[in-house]
Each structure stands twice: as C-alpha cells, then as structure tokens.
Structure 1
C-alpha cells in the first residue's frame, strides 16, 4: 500500500553519506548506486526518487539490507541486518516475497566512515532445522562468545527462533541443531541489563504468526482480538546462562496508555505489530517497535525490562517502503537510530537498504521524532 510521507517536525540531523565496501577489501561502492545486477542478481530500480529529499543515504549499496540490529563490541559498531534478495514470489500478507537466505555482518569505526562488509556469516543451509526465510536477526556477546539470534520457518512452515555461536562478532556463526525450545514467531531482539541478565524479546503479527499462538500452541487459524480487546502482545523471556535456551516461559510485554489501559488491537497507530527493541536511558527502559500497517516506529517507557511500557510517542515517521524496522544504540556519547527504507530499489518494499541517523533524547526523557523523507 502507498505510504503517507509526513513532515511535522524539523531539527538538525546527521546528513550522512556513507560508502559500502564489499567483504574486507579497500574498494568501496558509492551509496547512491543500485546494487550491481551481475554480482547481486538484481534489476535496476523502476523509479528514481530524489535523493536530496532523504535525510540520510544508504550505508551500503552493493547488496540489499534491512532490519539493522546495531551493537558496540570492542569499541566498534557492528550491524546485523537481514539481506534482501530479488524473488519471483508473489507479494502476500504472509510475506513470502521476503525470501532472505543468509546474513552478512557489517561494521564501521564511527558514523561517517566507510562500512565494511565482512561477508556471509550464516546461510540457510547452515541451519539444520530451517526451511526458508531468514528474517530479522540480532546478536550479543557474553564471556568472549558471540550469539546470533534469528527467526526462520521450520520444516512445517512455522516460524521459530534459532541461535548460532562464534568466537568473533563477524562470524562465521555455527547454528545449534534445533531451535530454542518454546520459541515462536519472529524478530528476536536481545537486551543485556546492567545486572548481567540477558532477555530476548520477540513477536510479529500477520506474517510473523503471533496471532496463531493465542492459545499457547500453534494453530493454522489466525485469531485476532475483538475491537474492544487488548492488542496482541510482544513476548519476553530471560535467557539461560549458556544463552542457548529460555530460562523461563515467555510472557507478554504489556503496552498501555498514560492511564494504564492496555492498547487495543484496533489502535493501529500505537499498538505493537513487530520489530521489538529495548534500550536503557537514565535508568528507564525504552521499548520501541513497528506499528506495521501504519508504518511508525513508536515507543513506550517502563521501569522494568518486563514492562509494562507506557506509550510515549513516535521515534520514526513512515519510510519509503511498506516495512519499518530499527535499532537504537549509544556510541561515543551519542545515540543513533539505525533503520531501513527502499530508496535503492526505487520503492520495492522487499528490496531495502539500511541507514543511520542521530537520535535525541530530550531533558524530560522523550525522544525527538525523526522524519526520514521530505515530501
């Protein structure tokens, strides 16, 4: 569906023009170029949008990338995106045209520097239990080991979440032979709290199948809440000490309004759709997420990693393309929002590119909304 492109806020943002370099070579590709049709197997963009209307340019352009999860390891920024590929699958509500099959790890010394593509870190063929669709991943580090969490459909076509290990933040990662017990749906996001506990957030409706788990077991039938009922909730589970399993049964993450009333399923501008992320600022937990069909990155604030989270507003207004997905990270005293749009492909919603911009917390703790495109 076409996206509304709004501009209701203005402020100074990074005007980053970053270059991407394939693998570990010093040769780089201008971020304004479409991915090469020979090396990446893609067609030229159908529509050229005015690049001057985008507040940021793609971080890399030699491959299509989306869903950027950013972290700081050993003083360097690492990005764990999904990698979009062209497909002949017909777009549908279950997202079959998002047919991703491997992950690359990207890194950079600081925003504004060239981005290094460290190559393929994990492929679909490396995951014994998976059949297709390596969607948005995330990663973390513990005791010198690196853990990549990722969703994929199992042999029965049901999304579960797997984990793969490496001695390096760049991989390659070795996948566990089975998915995490009790896992389901999509968009894992791992959060390390100040006490050393690790939590995994996950969930996504429609293509992410969260609406098929309302009874606690998978159903082939979608079950959405009635108009006067609370929206479907994202999930949280503390991770086990070995980081390979849940240490508890996943529980709901409650999103509520200022009066403490749960957000309703029909509240499409505020309710959760997918793409959970948590960061901590001034002692408060910020839960941010995509509203899906209304194309916002929204956020709520709480006092515990479990919530409840009280809705506070918008982080990012709609981007070019149907999906929106992000991460928020502090680096060298500043906060950054990593996100994606479909600039490189001329608006093809399953062929996306990742970007970054500075994120501002106001003195009262609120986040200054970011408008990615000027109409």
Structure 2
C-alpha cells in the first residue's frame, strides 16, 4: 500500500472561493512548471492520474520572506507531462485564517478528499493546521471544520504547527504527523478525518528532525521522510536542509533512522513527498531551478526513487530532465525495467546503479548524460538484477554497454538468467547476448514468468564492465 503527501507561505485578504483556472499543459522537464513558482509539493495517486498539490510562491525578486496565499494543483498521466489546474484553495477558503498558505497534503477517504493545510490563524499564536474537503481531487474545496484542527492551544502541539502529512492504514485508522522547529508530533484521527483521537505524542527515533514529515508504507514497513539541517552527513551549511528517513513496524513508531534520501537542493528549504505510480516510485520536491528562482521563489521537480532489496532507499539523483514518460499499461514492447528494484554484485562509488533503468537513451557508449553504472575495480563475473513484487512475463531484453576508455570496457560475454522459484537458471532459447559498443544489444528468448531477471556479465581481462541502460520487455 503506497501513500501520498502534499505541501506550502504569506498574506492579506483573498477571495473566499478558489479561482477557477483553465487547465494548461506544463513542460516535461524539471522544474515541472515555470509559469509560476510552486513549493512544498505533495503527490497523490487517484486511479491512473498522479496529482501534485503545492503552494504558490509569490515573493518578488530580492524578497527575504515567503509570500504565499494559495494552493495549486497539477496532474499527469505519465509522471513526465503535466497539466496545471490553477489555484484550488487559498487563505479565503478558511474564514478563520489570515495569512500564510504553507505546506499541505490531500488524503482520500470515504469518497472524499481532505486537504490538510498549514495556515496562519487570526487569533493568538502563529501557524495552525486546517482541513478542507471536496468530492473530487480538483475540488471545489470548502472548510471541513470551521476552525483549526491543530493550533497552539492543542495540548502537546509542536513549537511550529506546520507541514501536515496524513496516512490511512490498511485497517482504516488514520494518522496525522506534523511539526517544525525540531518538534515532530503525531496523533490519531477520527473516522471523520476532522477530529483527533487520543493524546498528541512525540515520535521517537526521528534523528535530527527539523520539519516536513512525509509518511508512507511499502511491503508492510512504515517509512517517515523528513527535512533535517544537521552537518552530520546532511548539509555543509545549516541554512540548507536534506531529506532523511526512518522506518518502523508500527505507524506511531518507534522509528529507526536509515539515512539521507534527498541531498541538499538549490533552495534553502527542502520539502518532499514519495509516491508509487504505474509501478514506479517517485520523489516530488522543490528547488530554486526555475528562471528567476530563489529561496522564496521555488519550483516543483520530480525524479525517480529506487529501493534496495532490503527495503532501504537509494539516495535520489536530482535531474533537470525529469523522469521519462511512464503511462503504465502493458502488452508487447512494455519495458518492465523502470518498475523493478535493481541490485548488483558491485557498483563503483562514483557511478550510479539507477542508470540501468532510468529510461535513458544513450548517444554512445561513453555518454554519461543520463548517468552510468560501472563495477570497477571488480573483474571476472559480475551481475545486475531486476526484482518485481509479482511475476512478470518476459521474452526480450536489451543492454547498452558503458565503455569509459579507461578501467571500464565492453564485456567479453554476457548471459541472462531468471529465478525459477528455487534457483537461477538460463532463460530458454536465448539468442546471442551481444557485447557491441554504441548500440542497443537485443536478446530474445522463450517467454518466462518470473519475479527476478539477472544479467550476468563477464569482463575482458584486466577490465571492469558497465551499463548505461538495461531493458526487460514484457511478452
């Protein structure tokens, strides 16, 4: 069961209803939209559509503070080409609010969509968490409660009540996490999604937590990603932040810190969400990458995210190209590589295992523009492997070899193996496993149904081997 999350900052009166905007296509690159500045993204999958909910940065050039008054929605059918649906909520959505449309997230339940927001109330204190509701992912959204869900008056609340993330578990229990200023908080939600149940607690084990929690579940394990700004492997300057993550076997923890998911970005803040869409995992985050961008003029970006076989997350490689189109579906010619978890016998510290299934189209065997995998200084027999959670029917593969004209060269030979339930065996009827450079070497074989496909590579004497792209085609 995958989860989705969403995001958000400052003020004056705004119209009570969110403006209706004509949906317009956005560019297929990072950032995913440059017509306005967007921040604090939260992804949500509904059917065959990936939505991103984000706040709008309106600070002028040179401003030293956030200016945010509305929340926008983008959508995509392939995680590469985006449609901007305009503002679907704003400060005026909440009659009790005064300013600061900060980080938010939408969570579906009971046929409705609940939009949890960080917003400044008119009363004492600073930030509150509100909740709006709609019958559609695109609204219209209206205030679901008539006042804050979480505020400074909530017993046990955070020093800064921002960045809500909501998770509904398989048993129907909903959980709310939030907090800033090193103050993570968690509480159970009632079935109506607008009231809390039981006490607010401080989750244990979220090492160096600063703000921006994001909760999801994969393979029975709970994951919590969050922003940190420590210099112990996170950032070199505490004005910036990275995204760390922890795991737990219970949604309320305790949590075990696992490492950094997303390193420092070009904006000082770092706010992200993780979601599975069409069999591929993605991270949605913001940076200062749009023309004229900056710390208070941020923009949403999307990149692929990969898990290791043991459930840990590989550090994300930030790109300016964004992910290749992933429309889902099946049938002849579908490359199953992007939906697989990839592992290897060895990867060089300066190369990237993610290169083998990130959808690149190499211009030649020395083309590093979309990353490269190499296993230097290992020699002899090495391997890379795909794993899927359910069996796939495969009858064709192709590999584009990496050759850096140094320690990595084209291999001496290769062969494909699949896991038959008890051991790895050669795929039946395998054609020649080509080792030519600067081409896509295609391998055909009789269809196999398997959860694992392995490419075994034998190096030339004195050299290591590498791959720019490896495809596994559905039969």
Query: Normalising by the residue count of structure 1, what TM-score does the alignment of the two structures yield?
Result: 0.71
RMSD: 2.1
Q: Does 2:34 match 1:58?
A: no
Distance between the aligned counterparts of 1:87 and 1:109, measured in 2? Answer: 32
Distance between the aligned counterparts of 2:197 and 2:113, measured in 1? Answer: 19
Deviation, structure 1 residue 372: 2.2
Q: Does 2:136 match 1:168?
A: yes
Which position in structure 2 is the counterpart of 1:323? Answer: 269
Q: Does 2:93 match 1:126?
A: yes
Distance between the aligned counterparts of 1:313 and 1:23, measured in 2? Answer: 40
Deviation, structure 1 residue 126: 2.2
Distance between the aligned counterparts of 1:136 and 1:318, measured in 2? Answer: 19
The structure-2 alpha-carbon separation of the partners of 1:153 and 1:317, relative to structure 1 and needing over 3 Å to count, comes to same
**Secondary structure in structure 2 of the residue aligned to 1:250:** strand
Is the contact between residue 129 and residue 164 of structure 2 (CA under 8 Å) also seen in structure 1?
yes
| Residue of 54, 58, 62 corresponding to 1:81 | 54
Distance between the aligned counterparts of 2:73 and 2:245, measured in 1? Answer: 27
| Residue of 61, 72, 79 corresponding to 1:104 | 72
Deviation, structure 1 residue 87: 4.3
Q: Does 2:225 match 1:288?
A: yes
Deviation, structure 1 residue 353: 0.6
**Secondary structure in structure 2 of the residue aligned to 1:249:** strand
Structure that is richer in strand per residue: 2
Which position in structure 2 is the counterpart of 1:337? Answer: 283
Distance between the aligned counterparts of 2:112 and 2:136, measured in 1? Answer: 7
| Residue of 110, 115, 120 corresponding to 1:153 | 120
| Residue of 169, 173, 179 corresponding to 1:197 | 173
Is the contact between residue 30 and residue 301 of structure 2 (CA under 8 Å) also seen in structure 1?
yes
Which position in structure 1 is the counterpart of 2:409? Answer: none
Which position in structure 2 is the counterpart of 1:177? Answer: 146
Is the contact between residue 233 and residue 254 of structure 1 (CA under 8 Å) also seen in structure 2?
no
Q: What per-residue deviation string (whole Å, max 9, x for no partner) do you get for residues 111-148 of structure 1?
A: 123x1222221111221111110100001111111100
After the TM superposition, which of the residue ranges 309-318 and 246-255 deviates more from structure 2?
A: 246-255
**Secondary structure in structure 2 of the residue aligned to 1:314:** strand
Count of residues in correspondence between the two structures: 283
Q: What per-residue deviation string (whole Å, max 9, x for no partner) do you get for residues 300-321 of structure 1?
A: 1111111111111110111101
Give the alignment of 1:351-370 within 5 angstroms: 351-370=297-316
Distance between the aligned counterparts of 1:29 and 1:191, measured in 2? Answer: 29
Is the contact between residue 233 and residue 255 of structure 1 (CA under 8 Å) also seen in structure 2?
no
Which position in structure 2 is the counterpart of 1:221? Answer: none
Distance between the aligned counterparts of 2:163 and 2:294, measured in 1? Answer: 21
| Greater Cα radius of gyration, structure 1 or 2 | 2
Deviation, structure 1 residue 246: 0.9
- Consecutive unaligned residues of structure 2, counting only runs of 5 or more, are 1-19, 230-237, 321-475
Is the contact between residue 63 and residue 296 of structure 2 (CA under 8 Å) also seen in structure 1?
no
Q: Does 2:77 match 1:117?
A: no
Is the contact between residue 79 and residue 106 of structure 1 (CA under 8 Å) also seen in structure 2?
yes
Distance between the aligned counterparts of 2:22 and 2:61, measured in 1? Answer: 31
Higher relative contact order (CA 8 A, sep 6+): 1
Deviation, structure 1 residue 350: 0.7
Distance between the aligned counterparts of 1:333 and 1:88, measured in 2? Answer: 40
The structure-2 alpha-carbon separation of the partners of 1:127 and 1:140, relative to structure 1 and needing over 3 Å to count, comes to same
The structure-2 alpha-carbon separation of the partners of 1:233 and 1:123, relative to structure 1 and needing over 3 Å to count, comes to closer
The structure-2 alpha-carbon separation of the partners of 1:373 and 1:109, relative to structure 1 and needing over 3 Å to count, comes to closer
**Secondary structure in structure 1 of the residue aligned to 2:199:** coil
| Residue of 107, 110, 118 corresponding to 1:140 | 107
Deviation, structure 1 residue 153: 1.3
